[in-house]
Amino acid sequence: MCWLEWGRLYEAYHTTAFNPSKVSGEVRKLYGDSYIKNRKGIFEYILGGSLDTKLLEVRIFDEATKKAVYTKQTTEAEKKGISNCPHCALGHDANKSKIWKLADMDADHVAAWSKGGATDMANCEMLCKTHNRAKGNR
């Protein structure tokens, strides 16, 4: 914990009362979460009211989000007779109307995570694996 900016954290949060056992429990829970890529941000995330997920660098969509977005996209695509991959639906090949299985798709950030896009349902779309891997950081 020597890598934390304790002085800055103190200045920002010293007027707020915290329950030490609750904070400790939340820290333990978050340290055990494999989706969190920046453990350094856990304390500031908790002290700040658990609002700024950018501090944790969580960039993987959970399974429930993937399934919900997949179901919504697939239902809409089937009604329109187009592919449930938005990029395939724009094309002119055999995949233009292909309905992909969930296992053949990847969850993608509509607004790139590296450019401030949130990892939440509103910023998630399902793309076929080919298009998701070709998309990159755009």
pLDDT in tens, 118-131: 888 999 999 999 99
pLDDT in the model for residue 1 = 66
Fold of 63-135: DNA Binding (I), subunit A (1.10.30)
Numbers of helices and strands, H then E, in the chain: 6, 2
Instruction: State the distance between the two ends of the chain, measured CA to CA, in whole angstroms.
Output: 35
CA distances from 116 to 1, 14, 69, 108, 113 (A): 26, 28, 20, 14, 5
Instruction: Return d(Cα 112, Cα 128) in angstroms, integer.
Output: 17
What is the band of 137 on the pLDDT scale with cuts at 50, 70, 90? low
pTM for the structure as a whole: 0.64
Alpha helices in the chain (DSSP H): 6-13, 20-31, 42-47, 63-80, 86-90, 129-135
pLDDT in tens, 57-85: 777 888 999 999 999 999 999 999 999 99
Q: For the chain, what are the domain ranges?
A: 6-56, 63-135
Do 129 and 106 form a contact (C-beta atoms < 8 A)?
yes
What is the band of 51 on the pLDDT scale with cuts at 50, 70, 90? confident
